[in-house]
């Protein structure tokens, strides 16, 4: 069987703190995307999970990352949003908080990131986030066609060395799957602070007639979209350029 290239680095770092380990056991099962079979989005979001309903704290950590700094482009009620590689979940949960009627699916293979996201979910009390620990491509393969209104790919692993470019998430096969799961008119939002990954992504999307790059002037890719919430990786400024913000519409 053909195995796709691994696009991520480590899947575990330090041992989880007791509170996070507890949330993996108590909260994650209520929010988890089923591990097999076609994903029925309405069932996935049917009843808000009891364990996720009550805020467990003030949600201060989200404020550190600018939640609500720049409101104005929240997805509509019922919209389905996928965030691929949510890292620690600060962005995912802030967006979910800003758009309580929309439905957010976050996928991240890094265990400590999933545990951190659960803490943000508990602290903020959001009830519209579902999670999967693993490879987003595996989840996408089980999503119905034309099911996503919005897909975030924020600061994906850059794999800067040429011999590692094959590990980048953006590949023709990935675009095939993305084209299948996006609704007509749905939007893909991609950001990177690695110049070569920005050009790589632009080349892949602009060669593909199923997607249209929305930029009309330099400002459109130099500035984040309205409502952006700074991510943890973005704040580290590890790349070789200022962040580049690319928006593509599915035709």
The reply to whether 8 sits near ligand SAM by the rule CB under 6 A is yes
Least distance CB 81 / ligand SAM (angstroms): 14
- Tokens, residue 62: 């989200």
141 Cβ contact partners less than 8 Å away, ≥ 6 residues apart: 177
When CB distances to ligand SAM are compared, the closest residue is: 85
Interaction residues for ligand SAM, span 66-95 (CB under 6 A): 84-87
Task: Report how far Cα 41 is from the mean position of its chain's Cα atoms.
Answer: 16
Is residue 108 within the footprint of ligand SAM (CB under 6 A)?
Answer: yes
Indicate which single residue of 120, 228, 232, 250 sits in contact with ligand SAM (rule: CB under 6 A).
232
- Select the residue interacting with ligand SAM from 62, 126, 136, 140 (CB under 6 A): 136
Q: Which CB sits closer to ligand SAM, 163 or 217?
A: 163
d(CA 5, CA 146): 25
The reply on whether position 159 binds ligand SAM by CB under 6 A is: no
CB nearer to ligand SAM: give 53 or 222.
Answer: 222
**Whole-angstrom Cα distance, residue 89 to residue 127?**
14
Q: Is 228 in the site for ligand SAM (CB under 6 A)?
A: no
Indicate which single residue of 233, 243, 248, 250 sits in contact with ligand SAM (rule: CB under 6 A): 233
Q: For residue 90, how many C-alpha atoms fall within 13 Å in the half-sphere facing its CB?
A: 19
157 is catalytic: yes
Cβ proximity of 199 and 246 under 8 Å = no
What would you measure as the largest C-alpha separation in the chain, in angstroms? 49
Buried b / exposed e across 95-111, counting CB within 10 Å, b at 16+? bbbbbeebbbbbbbbbb
By the rule CB under 6 A, 198 interacts with ligand SAM? no
- Of the residues 157, 208, 220, 240, only one is catalytic, namely 157
Determine if 113 is a binding residue for ligand SAM (CB under 6 A).
yes
Give 51 or 66: the residue with its C-beta nearer to ligand SAM. 66
Q: Which of 121, 169, 182, 229 binds ligand SAM (CB under 6 A)?
A: 169
Given a contact cutoff of 8 angstroms between Cβ atoms, the answer to whether 150 and 79 are in contact is yes
Phi, psi dihedrals of residue 208, rounded to the nearest 5°: -105, 115
User: 10 Å Cβ neighbour count for 72?
Assistant: 8
Taking the least distance from each CB to ligand SAM, the nearer of 145 and 173 is 173
Binding-site ranges for ligand SAM (CB under 6 A): 7-8, 84-87, 107-110, 113, 135-137, 154-157, 169, 231-234
Query: Which residues are designated catalytic?
Result: 157
């Amino acid at each position: 069987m053909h195995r796709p290239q691994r696009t991520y680095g480590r899947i575990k770092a330090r041992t989880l703190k007791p509170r996070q380990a507890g949330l993996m056991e108590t909260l994650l099962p209520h929010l988890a995307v089923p591990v097999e079979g076609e994903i029925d989005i309405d069932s996935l979001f049917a009843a808000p999970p009891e364990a996720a309903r009550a805020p467990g704290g003030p949600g201060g950590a989200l404020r550190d990352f600018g939640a609500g700094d720049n409101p104005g482009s929240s997805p509509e009620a019922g919209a389905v949003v996928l965030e691929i590689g949510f890292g620690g979940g600060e962005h995912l949960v802030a967006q979910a908080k800003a758009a309580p009627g929309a439905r957010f699916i976050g996928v991240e293979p890094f265990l400590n990131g999933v545990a951190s996201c659960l803490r943000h979910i508990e602290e903020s009390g959001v009830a519209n986030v579902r999670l999967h620990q693993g490879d987003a491509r595996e989840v996408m393969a089980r999503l119905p066609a034309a099911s996503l209104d919005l897909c975030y790919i924020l600061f994906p692993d850059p794999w800067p060395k040429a011999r590692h470019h094959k590990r980048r998430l953006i590949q023709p096969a990935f675009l095939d799957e993305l084209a299948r799961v996006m609704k007509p008119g749905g939007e893909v939002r991609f950001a990177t602070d690695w110049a070569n990954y920005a050009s790589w992504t632009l080349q892949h999307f602009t060669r593909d007639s199923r997607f249209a790059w929305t930029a009309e002037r330099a400002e459109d890719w130099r500035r984040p979209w309205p409502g952006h919430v700074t991510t943890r990786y973005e704040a580290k400024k590890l790349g070789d350029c200022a962040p580049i913000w690319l928006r593509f519409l599915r035709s």
